[in-house]
Structure 1
C-alpha cells in the first residue's frame, strides 16, 4: 500500500465526486477546459475563476496555491488568496499569494464548491521517532528513509567532497568514483551541484553531479528513481552528453557524465553578450533536436530543457550541442524526491515550460521538449523569453494564460521565414504542427547556414 491523497467533493454539482492521487503530480482547479477537476461554466459556478487554484501533490504531502482568483480560495473557512474586483486576472497575479500545506480533513472551497482532503498512510509510513541527518547526524523528527537536513541540503559541495572521501576509503557503494579527484565546481542548482572530476588512473575528466533529496529517500523512492535513470544511462548519441555511472550513498545520489569543456548554451550567450547570430543559433538548435529525436525514439523525455543543460562539446574547433541531464529532473520529481517545490518559490520561473506540461504534469509527451528547445532558440536570438514574466506576477498563471510574443516583435531583423517556424513551434492553442523533434529540425535546417 502506498500513501494517497484524495480530493472528495462534499458540496457542489459535479459528475465526479472523488479524485485519488497516489503519485507525485499537480492539478489545477477551475472552469477552464484544461482543469482537473473542471467546474462547469454555469451560474452556479460563476464565482470560480478559469484557473482558480493549483494543488501540488507528493503523497502524503499536498499544498494549495491560489492563482490570483477573483473571489479567493478558502481553506477551512480562511481565505488564502484573492485579487481585487477592479483587477484583471493578470493584475491579480501580481500579488504574492502564499502556498498552504494541507492536512487530512482540511476543506477547500471555490465559490460554492467544497472539497475535503483525505490523506491515507500505509501502516508505519511515518512515525514520531527521532531520526538523524545522513550528513551531520543532527537529530530531527523524521520518517522512514535516508534524510538530509535543510542545512546540509544547502551545501552540495560538502556532499560531493564527502562522497569522494568515502570512495577513496573503499565504500562499497562508491566503487565507480573511487579513483576520482574533484577539480572545481562547474555549477549548481536547486537540487545539487556539478563538479569537474579527474580519474587519476586514466586522466579522463568527467562531470560529477550530486543531487540531494528534499524529503526522506525511502527504499521505494530510491529504487524508482534509479530504475528510471537507467533508461537515460542507455542513451548513446553524438548530441547527448553520455551518462556513465549512477549510485546512491550517504544520503546523496551521484552521477558521472561526459564532460563538455565548452560549457553550456547559457554560458555561451554570456560570453557573446547575450545573443547568437542566426546561423550558429539554428545550427546548435538542430544538433540538440537530433539528440532529442533519438531519445524520444527510445522512449525518454527530458522535461527540463533549458540553455543551462544544452551543453557544448567541440569537434575540430566547431561547437557541438549535447543535451545534458536527460531525464534526471523528471525522474527525481516523479519519485517524490524533490518534495513540494516545483511550483514554489525555490523552483524558479518556468521560462522554458510549455502550458501542456503544467496541465498534465506526469503524462508529458515529447512535444514538451520540442517547445522548450524552440524557447531556447528564441532566447538565443532575442535575449528574451517567449512569454513576458513581469516582476511579482505568478509565473504559473502566466504559463497557463499568456501566449508567447511573436519573435519579430522582439527582434525585427530575424528572417521572416525563420520567425514563422519559431512562432509556429511555440504555438499552443491550437497545438503547433511541429509535434516531433525531427519535424522541427527539418524545418530549421534550411536556416542553419
Structure 2
C-alpha cells in the first residue's frame, strides 16, 4: 500500500515524507488529539518478503524498547499498516545529524565536539547496561537534537539499532542473532578491527572504538584511516595503530585529547577503555569549561506489546566491500543510497565524508 499525506498510521496522521531508502521509508506524522509529532519508519513490501530483514526490523524494536535514556531516540510504538506492513513509531527529533553538520562544517571545535561525545557515551552506558551492543555508531546515526535549554541548546542522541546485538547475560543464552556465519555488518570507516573480521566478535569495546573514530573525524575533518578502496582501508585498520590528531592535521593538540583517542582507537581491544563508563569518566576530565546541569530525562511511553524474535534465516550480506564502504554513513536499514530525500529525516540518510585522502580543511580552529 502506498502511503500518502493524510493517511492514518498507528493512530497518527501522516504529514510528509522525511526520507526513503531501499528497505523503508520514514514519514512525519502528528496525533490529531494530542498534537504530538512522531517519525514513523515503515518496512517496504520488497524488504518484507525477506525474512532476515523482517527479523532485523523486529529486533530493532525489541532492542530500542529496552534502552531507557535521554541520549537514545525513543521508540514509542510498534504496529502495522492496514495491509500488514511493519512499522515503528519514534519520537520526532528537531535538528540534524552529525553527518549533515560535518558535511557543512568539515570539522568542529573541541568545545562543540565535547558535549556531543559526552552524550553519545551516556547513551552507550545505557545501551550496554541493557546488554545491547550498537555495532554501527557513525555520524549518520548520531542526531543533534535542539533543546529548550539556553545553557545546552542541543543534545546528541543515538539512532538506529538495526544491527545491534544482545550480549550474553549471567547464566543466560544469547538470543538468535542476525549475524549467522559470522557475517560482517556495520560501517567500515568507523568499525573496530575485530569487527572487520566478523560482527559476532564485537563487544562493548567495538562501540568505544567507533566513538573514538567519530570524535577523530569531528575534530580533524578526516577519518583515522582513509583509503581509495574499502580493501585498503580494512588492511590499514588491521595492520596499523590509528594516527594521532597531530599526525592527521599537522597541528598540535592537547595531550589529554590525544591520550583519550589513542586508547579509544587501540587496534587491540584489550588495550581500549573496558567500559563506556570508564571512557565517559576519562572524557569528562577533558571538559573545556563549566558544565551545564543536565535536564531530566523526558517522559517515555511504554511499548504496547512485546515482539517475538524467532530463529532468523541467514542474512544476505554483500561481499563487495567497496560498495559497503561507499555507504559508511548510511543508516543500516538503507541498503542502497536513498532515492528521495525530502527533509532531514529522523534516521540520517546522507552519506558522510568520502574515503579519499587529502580532504581540504577550513583555516582556524
Determine the structure 2 residue equivalent to 1:241: 73
Note the residue ranges of structure 2 that are not aligned, 5 or more in a row: 166-175, 289-365
Query: Contact 1:261 / 1:313 at 8 angstroms: preserved in 2?
Result: yes
Matched, 1:435 2:267: no
Greater CA radius of gyration, 1 or 2? 1
Superposed displacement of residue 183, structure 1: 2.3
Q: Name which of 13, 20, 35 aligns with 1:180.
A: 13
Distance 2:202 2:124 in 1: 14
Output the CA distance in 1 between the equivalents of 2:70 and 2:277.
15
Q: For residues 60 and 37 of structure 2, what CA distance do their matches in structure 1 show?
A: 26
**Distance in 2 separating the partners of 1:197 and 1:341:** 36
Q: CA RMSD in A?
A: 3.3
| Residue 324, structure 1, aligned to residue 156, structure 2 | no
Structure 1 residues 397 and 196, CA, compared in 2 at 3 Å: closer, same or farther? farther
Deviation at 1:287, TM superposition (A): 1.1
**Secondary structure, in 3 states, of the residue corresponding to 1:414?**
coil
CA contact (8 A) 2:47 2:54 kept: no
Give the TM-score normalised by the residue count of structure 2: 0.65
Alpha-carbon separation, structure 2, partners of 1:392 and 1:353: 12
Measure how far apart 1:199 and its partner are. Answer: 2.2
Residue 303 of structure 1: which of 121, 125, 135 is its match?
A: 135
Q: What is the correspondence of 1:50-61 to structure 2 with a 5 Å cutoff?
A: none
Aligned to 2:216: 378
Cα distance in structure 2, aligned partners of 1:330 and 1:258: 20
Q: TM-score with structure 1 length normalisation?
A: 0.54
CA distance, structure 1, for counterparts of residue 24 and residue 287 of structure 2: 35
Map 1:40-439 → 2, pairs under 5 A: 161=3, 165=7, 168=8, 177-185=10-18, 187-189=19-21, 191-212=23-44, 214=47, 216-218=49-51, 222=54, 226=58, 229-248=61-80, 250=83, 252-271=85-104, 273-315=105-147, 316-317=149-150, 318-325=153-160, 327-330=161-164, 334-335=177-178, 350-391=188-229, 393-411=231-249, 412-429=251-268, 431-439=270-278
Closer, same or farther: CA 387–211 of 1 in aligned 2, 3 Å: farther
- Between 1 and 2, higher relative CO (CA 8 Å, sep ≥ 6) is seen in 2
Contact 1:232 1:300 (C-alpha < 8 Å) held by counterparts: no
- CA 1:268–1:225: 2 relative to 1, 3 Å: closer
Preserved contact between residue 118 and residue 280 of structure 2 (Cα < 8 Å): yes
Query: What SS does structure 2 have at the residue aligned with 1:182?
Result: strand
Residue 307 of structure 1 and its aligned partner are, at CA, apart by 0.8
The number of aligned residues is: 272
Tell me how far 1:309 sits from its aligned partner.
1.3
Aligned to 2:305: none
Contact 1:179/1:201 (CA < 8 Å) preserved in 2? no
